[in-house]
Structure 1
Amino acid sequence: MNAYDNAVLYTDHVLGQAVAFLKRQESRFDTAMLYVSDHGESLGEKGLFLHGLPRAIAPDEQTKVPMVWWLSDGFKESRMINSDCLKEKSPAALSHDNLFHSVLGLLGVSTQVYEQGLDISAACRPIG
C-alpha cells in the first residue's frame, strides 16, 4: 500500500506541475489538461491485491478511476464552456467510453464516429 500511496502522491505532484506549466502558457495559448487513470488497484479489499480482473468480475476499486480536467479561462471562453455546468456533472458515473468523445468535442473535431451522448462537456457548451 505504501508504494501505491507514493504513486498517487507523485501523480498529484506531476499533475500540479503540468497545470503550473500550462498556466504559464496562458498569455500565448488556450490551454487544457485532461488526466484519467487507466485502471484502479485492489489493495486487499475482498482479499485481492491486483488490478487485472476481467471487468465483469472486477471490484469497484479496479474499475472506478480518477479523472481530472483543468481548463484555462481562455480555453473555456474560446469554446464557450460553462464551468458551473461541468461542476454539476462531476459526480456523474462516467467511464473510459466518455474519454474519446469528450476529447473530440472539446477540440471541435468533426467526425462520424463522434457520439454527443458520450461527450461529458456537450451539454455545457454550444454544439455546432
Structure 2
Amino acid sequence: MRNRGNLRSSDDTTDINISPLIDMVFILLIFFIVTTVFVEEAGLQANTPDPTSNPNQDNEKERVSFLVRANGQVIYDDKDVGVSAVAGIVAPEMRMEEYPITVNVEPDVPMHLVVAVVDACESGGAPQVTMKAVATK
C-alpha cells in the first residue's frame, strides 16, 4: 500500500488541452452570427423639414399649426384646445385644400402626447404631419 502512495508524486501535473474547446466556441459563435435573423421593427415615421428648402416658403403654406407644451396643453390660435379637438380642427381645413400640418413640440413633452396629436391630425385627413422642436416661451 505504501508503494501506491509513492506512485503519485506532487511534481506530476496533468495539463488539459483547451484548444479544441476554443475552436468549438468560435465555430458556435460564427454559426449563431450567421443564423441570426435581424428583425426591422416598424415605428412611427417622423417627417422632418428638408434642410435645403426655403423656410419662408414653408411658412406661407402653413395654415394649421399646433403647439404641444410640456405641461400637456395643445395650443391652436393661442387657445388650449386639447388633443380631442385636433381632428375637428384639421378636418375642415383639409376639405378646402390639403396643406401640411405642423406640430411644434416644446422640450420635455411626453412622447405619448406628441403621438396622440400626430394621430389626431392624420385621422382628421392631414396628408403630411411635420414635427418641429421649439424653445420654451
Q: TM-score range by the shorter chain?
A: under 0.3
Query: TM-score w.r.t. structure 2 length?
Result: 0.24
Identify, as 1 or 2, the structure richer in helix: 1
Quick one: higher RCO (CA 8 Å, sep 6+), 1 or 2?
2
